[in-house]
Structure 1
């Protein structure tokens, strides 16, 4: 039986200039908003925290020193 990656979160390793897929899926979940982000649309992540973000604003806010 073939497994579909539809509606299944991927597991990624985030690097400075990209990411590596550790477990296949079609999206990741934004660390700030909980929104699903299609892998093709993923542009923002935190390398140190290994967290994806849906927008630049969410990423900036989450990584701003407190």
Structure 2
């Protein structure tokens, strides 16, 4: 059994401000939610986000899907 315990502030959902190459933690937590699927993404695994929309994505496929949605021509 591990002696390591998590501080309560790092157990819940974090709030981040996404920048071009990194992010700022506004509220400490262990994860953020994917804006498309709602799946939790541990902060250590967060690699994909949209600065303009301030959205996090679980993986590259979901990030691409969302980019295509946001950049689709009207009527397509």
Q: State the TM-score, normalized to the length of structure 2.
A: 0.79
Residue 52 of structure 1 deviates from its aligned partner by 0.2
Q: For 1:34-62, what per-residue CA distance to the aligned partner results, in whole angstroms no more than 9, with x for missing partners?
A: 10000000000000000000001101110
Bigger-Rg structure (1/2): 2
Unaligned 5+ runs, structure 1 = none
Residue 63 of structure 1 deviates from its aligned partner by 1.2
Q: What RMSD in Å do the two structures reach over aligned CA positions? A: 0.9
In the alignment of these two chains, the number of paired residues is 63
Kindly indicate whether residue 30 of structure 2 is the aligned counterpart of residue 18 of structure 1. Answer: no
Structure with the bigger percentage of helix: 2
Structure with the bigger percentage of strand: 1
Match for residue 50 of structure 1 among 51, 54, 57: 54
Structure 1 runs, 4 residues or longer, greater than 6 Å off? none
Q: State the TM-score, normalized to the length of structure 1.
A: 0.91
Pairing 1:33-44 to 2, within 5 Å after superposition:
33-44=37-48
